[in-house]
Structure 1
Amino acid sequence: MPEPERKFSVQRGLTFITGLVECLCFAGAVFGWASLVFVLKEEGYFNSMCVNVTSVNGTQSLDCSAQDEQFSLVFTIASFLNNFLTLPNGFLFDRFGTTVARLFGIFLYTMGTLMVSFSTAALGYLLFPALSLLAVGGILFLVTNMQVGNLFGSRRSTIITLYNGAFDSSSALFLIIKLLHEVGISLRGSFLFLSACSVIHVLRTVFLLPKDFIPYPLPDHYTYGMNCGKSETAGTEVATNSPHKTPEETPLTKDAPVKQERSFRECLMSRFFVWHLLWLSVMQLRHYLFIGTLNPMLQRLTAGESSLVSQYTNAFAVTQLCGVLCAPWNGLIMDRHKGRPRAAGETEQEADLRASVLSLFLTALQCVLFSVCASSPSLPLQYLTFVLQVLNRSFLYGGNAAFLSVAFPSCHFGKLYGLVMALSAVFSLMQYPCFALVKGALHGDPLYVNIALTLLSLLAFIHPLSVYLHCRRLASQRSKSRDTTTST
């Protein structure tokens, strides 16, 4: 292997590994909220909201429903901004490139960790901006890392799926902070360490990522990072001295075929987009409400026994580590037709669309099973709930990006991805009134809300049915066309 190619191979490998570590250890930490809440309660955050109440038999107890509601509000706002700001973050990335987007994300993430580290029980309100900054900075880590898949050609989708799984698994970061807190490491010390890790993010941005974008397909003699623009071969000199755009400046969507594509407005008004938005929104709401209310649910099922709450919280956080293992399964399901002969007249896009039906259906089915288990008052059954939750979440977000890339023109992917995440975030705001309803009018009994959410999850089956009927219609049209040709 020539020296330039060997150096590029090493750099590419380091970029992939460090990107995986970054997504796995930092990007989606906010979704480990249940573990952090346990620590925050021990530190006395929002304790002033707990009040003594007298039951009908005259015994006194501590009612902390208002405290739980405040913690739920912190997570609701953070999870909302995590999705809603994906749209402007996408435009920032498209307009200014990788370096600017990442430096902005690192700044937000560092500010968030510093706010948590310097917060106290008396300054509990700092959790609102802190968790929101962590969420928005973390999603920028993921968005800027997904382009690393472009360096690996045929394994591009696998890398992207793996990074999304690592993002899910990073919620276990708060479990590590919880375990460290139990052995005497302070909350402040843990978050100051996370702040110091920002130096690593900056170094990776400078040396292992491009200033602008990684194009797909990858041009010959492509370089990035500190090597970008250096003459390693004659071919590289020609490329870098050309008056045209360098490979690094080529947008990710330049590989779109030159043909009459649907406009962004047509995509937005299509049946596929509407049903896909509903599919994502109802399942995402179920997941967000489950994560945001896990601690009070465990408090209720264990009758407030702290050791049991800690045990189940740890079990939930450990299962989140499996997200990086579950994520590629969905990609395998969607790519199962690759290498097989297609039906006569069937295009690659139609084959991809047909393959997505099973993925969409299984994701909806997993959500319903997860919701049923989460609604059960059986404490041991929650172990199964945790497994179904991490499996379904991995399928949900991987399937979301995969379907958008299959069903719509690639030139609109960034805008559609940002928009569907933003609109689904607005829908996810329903989690807070649901929580307030349980704590208020329903007197802490979530049965009716859980039933309603399970029934709502059934709406997700409309999307795979719609795609299936569309594929059947296309197959029928091809069949009629062949019959007409034969008879002629």
Structure 2
Amino acid sequence: MSNKKYGGVPRGEMTDKELIQKQPDHNEQLKIKKVTEAQQTQSPWRKYLMAVWAVLECLLFGGLVYGWGSLVFVFKKEGIYAELCSHRGDNSSNITIPAENMSGVISCREQDEKLQLAFTVGTTLMTISSPILGHIQYTSGTRMARIVLICFFLCGSLVTAFLTTSTPWLVFLGLSCLAIGGLPIVITNIQVANLFAVGGSTVVGLLCGSFDASAAVQLVVKIAYENGISRQYSYLFISALHVMVIFSTFVLLPKTFIPKVEPDKSDLDEAGEVVKALNENDNPAVHSEELPLRDVKPSLLNCTLSRVFLSHVFWLSVLQLRFYYFIGTLNPWLNYITNQEESLVSHYTNASLFTQLGGVLTSLFCGFIYDLERRRNNSKPSITERRLQPSVVPLTLTSCLALLLSCLVLVPSAEVLYVDFIVLTFFRSFMYGTAAAFLQMVFPADYFGFLYGMLIVISGVLGCVQYPLFIWLETPPKGPQKVNIFLLVLMFVSLIHPINIWLNTKRGANNIAESEYVFIAKRSKCF
């Protein structure tokens, strides 16, 4: 037994000093244990209240930026940047006819480009700010991070309420602040899933689905506008409703973090504990001596530079570009398909947002699949398999949905639009739900905010490519088809990530008694 490997390191090659260094801080262990015990003994209704409240926050305030299709429709009706079309009368655009339609709404390529730039800037700043707010949460706790997001969101909603045709540049500021203040609502609420030892991935999926469905809030603003309620009143109401985020920040959520609730270590659980009795002939005393090596916690730097994380970043970057491009070009695309008929553009815009309301259900389905895979792989002796193998099916399904969407948009038909919207809803739910559940499952809980922020910001850098793609889309002949074929090829490339994870879990199948985070800590052998 003296030469038996634990955590990939021969026992005989490690000194007592090295063993002590690998042990987690005792005071930190006691603190986490006390908090976890308090969570397990608290009233069950409280954790369900926190989960429901978190879902409502994500549903009402999380992803308003993704309802851009409805908001840009309102902006065009109000004449935001319409002055760019005042000297245009030619049909030089490949997508939008620069003319005044029967309802008096002016639209042209220059206006579309300016509004598309506002969307690009907003989503880019959202991604850049994510690791900053994640770092604030990691260093200063949940409460401080949420105070910052509250300030940004209220600024964005008030600016959006009071921008006018004489100050159209406020679209950039308002949308950016709404985006910056929206995503952290999900980041700070996902830790609520740590309260659920079983079904945590389903909770993560539900939160991400609510974040997706929050785009429908802009649909409500659009419908209210068409029925005589101004955009100003709608956004003032949204600002007032944000008081519920303030309430949960100071009453429901802790000042710091919610640690994971781990089941009894005597059982084989989904958190990745060592299988009991690795070898019936082994000495139990030796096991009790070696097991603490499993609790080695990798540094934040190791997690950030691990190949499993970088591969995950690449996967989300490619898929998010497909999603951002679809959302950002929805309005000019609908104008192109419907020949600039406003009633049809309004109809299909509403249809796209109504289908996004189904994101709550599709995200539940995504979380259910992830949890099902976790239970299916729960009996495997390798920690690497139990940690990573459950993600292979959700990752692959997400890439396949992106491929399907990329194929459907190659058909410029109004009848296909309904199928596009349904596939988009499934795709977005699986993309963000799987991305978050993967981090929540694989990495330490207190690293989630920073790692999720890094994931979003790096993928968002590639998301900046959507604006050059929009310019390419306007280039005749057949600009839209060329761009969509390019994105189709990228979606095939995204399959590299699930294939890579599957191959490496098979390689680590024989490593039974290893560190809980061996695939992160051993950087030379990271995926």
Is TM more than 0.5 here?
A: yes
Deviations 1:188-210 (A, max 9, x none): 11011111123332233233222
Residue 375 (1) aligns with residue 410 (2): yes
Q: 2:439 aligns with which of 380, 386, 404?
A: 404
Q: 1:420 aligns with which of 442, 452, 455?
A: 455
Report deviation, 1:156. Answer: 2.9
- 1:18 corresponding residue in structure 2: 53
- 1:468 corresponding residue in structure 2: 502
Judged with a 3 Å threshold, the aligned counterparts in structure 2 of structure 1 residues 443 and 53 are, in CA distance, closer, same or farther, namely farther
| Unmatched runs of 5 consecutive residues or more in structure 1 | 220-255, 479-488
- Determine the C-alpha separation between the residues in 2 that align with 1:201 and 1:412: 23
- Determine the C-alpha separation between the residues in 1 that align with 2:91 and 2:374: 64
What aligned pairs does 1:139-288 form with structure 2 within 5 A after superposition?
139-217=183-261, 259-288=295-324
Q: Give 2:347's aligned amino acid.
A: Q
- Answer 1 or 2: which has greater helix percent: 1
Task: Give yes or no for contact 2:137–2:449 (8 Å, CA) kept in 1.
Answer: no
- Determine the C-alpha separation between the residues in 1 that align with 2:375 and 2:90: 69
- Determine the C-alpha separation between the residues in 2 that align with 1:338 and 1:286: 28
Task: Give yes or no for contact 2:134–2:451 (8 Å, CA) kept in 1.
Answer: no
Q: 2:343 aligns with which of 296, 302, 307?
A: 307
- 1:225 corresponding residue in structure 2: none
- Determine the C-alpha separation between the residues in 2 that align with 1:84 and 1:299: 31
Residue 73 (1) aligns with residue 117 (2): yes
Q: 1:451 aligns with which of 477, 485, 499?
A: 485
Judged with a 3 Å threshold, the aligned counterparts in structure 2 of structure 1 residues 476 and 94 are, in CA distance, closer, same or farther, namely closer
Report deviation, 1:216. Answer: 2.6
- What is the aligned-residue identity percentage? 39
- Determine the C-alpha separation between the residues in 1 that align with 2:300 and 2:202: 27
- Determine the C-alpha separation between the residues in 1 that align with 2:375 and 2:492: 34
Task: Give yes or no for contact 1:335–1:352 (8 Å, CA) kept in 2.
Answer: no
- Determine the C-alpha separation between the residues in 2 that align with 1:193 and 1:67: 28
- Determine the C-alpha separation between the residues in 2 that align with 1:311 and 1:266: 49
Report deviation, 1:148. Answer: 2.0
Task: Give yes or no for contact 2:204–2:367 (8 Å, CA) kept in 1.
Answer: no
Report deviation, 1:266. Answer: 4.2
TM-score by length of 1: 0.83
Q: Give 1:74's aligned amino acid.
A: A
Judged with a 3 Å threshold, the aligned counterparts in structure 2 of structure 1 residues 178 and 16 are, in CA distance, closer, same or farther, namely same
Q: 1:386 aligns with which of 417, 421, 428?
A: 421
- 2:178 corresponding residue in structure 1: 134
| Bigger mean CA deviation after superposition, 349-358 or 304-313 | 349-358
Deviations 1:381-433 (A, max 9, x none): 01111111110111111111222344445564443322121111101000011
Judged with a 3 Å threshold, the aligned counterparts in structure 2 of structure 1 residues 339 and 149 are, in CA distance, closer, same or farther, namely closer
Q: Which has the higher contact order (CA 8 A, sep 6+)?
A: 2
- 1:241 corresponding residue in structure 2: none
Aligned length: 435
Q: Give 1:289's aligned amino acid.
A: Y
Deviations 1:355-403 (A, max 9, x none): 2111111111100101111232111101111111110111111111222
Report deviation, 1:350. Answer: 1.3
Q: 1:345 aligns with which of 381, 398, 405?
A: 381
Judged with a 3 Å threshold, the aligned counterparts in structure 2 of structure 1 residues 459 and 128 are, in CA distance, closer, same or farther, namely same
- 1:442 corresponding residue in structure 2: 476
Q: 1:109 aligns with which of 126, 140, 153?
A: 153
Deviations 1:243-271 (A, max 9, x none): xxxxxxxxxxxxx9854455444444443
Report deviation, 1:444. Answer: 7.6
SS at match of 1:122: coil
Q: 2:360 aligns with which of 324, 327, 330?
A: 324
Report deviation, 1:82. Answer: 1.8
- Determine the C-alpha separation between the residues in 2 that align with 1:119 and 1:85: 23
Q: 1:89 aligns with which of 133, 136, 140?
A: 133
Judged with a 3 Å threshold, the aligned counterparts in structure 2 of structure 1 residues 157 and 342 are, in CA distance, closer, same or farther, namely closer
- 1:29 corresponding residue in structure 2: 64
Report deviation, 1:333. Answer: 2.0
- Determine the C-alpha separation between the residues in 1 that align with 2:190 and 2:426: 20
Report deviation, 1:218. Answer: 8.5
- Determine the C-alpha separation between the residues in 2 that align with 1:268 and 1:22: 29
Task: Give yes or no for contact 1:151–1:218 (8 Å, CA) kept in 2.
Answer: no
Task: Give yes or no for contact 2:225–2:231 (8 Å, CA) kept in 1.
Answer: yes
Report deviation, 1:331. Answer: 2.2
Deviations 1:427-469 (A, max 9, x none): 1000011112222x33683111111111111110111111121
Q: Give 1:73's aligned amino acid.
A: L
Task: Give yes or no for contact 1:161–1:328 (8 Å, CA) kept in 2.
Answer: yes
- 2:516 corresponding residue in structure 1: none
Judged with a 3 Å threshold, the aligned counterparts in structure 2 of structure 1 residues 370 and 340 are, in CA distance, closer, same or farther, namely closer
Judged with a 3 Å threshold, the aligned counterparts in structure 2 of structure 1 residues 444 and 67 are, in CA distance, closer, same or farther, namely farther
RMSD: 2.7
Report deviation, 1:323. Answer: 0.9
Judged with a 3 Å threshold, the aligned counterparts in structure 2 of structure 1 residues 292 and 10 are, in CA distance, closer, same or farther, namely same
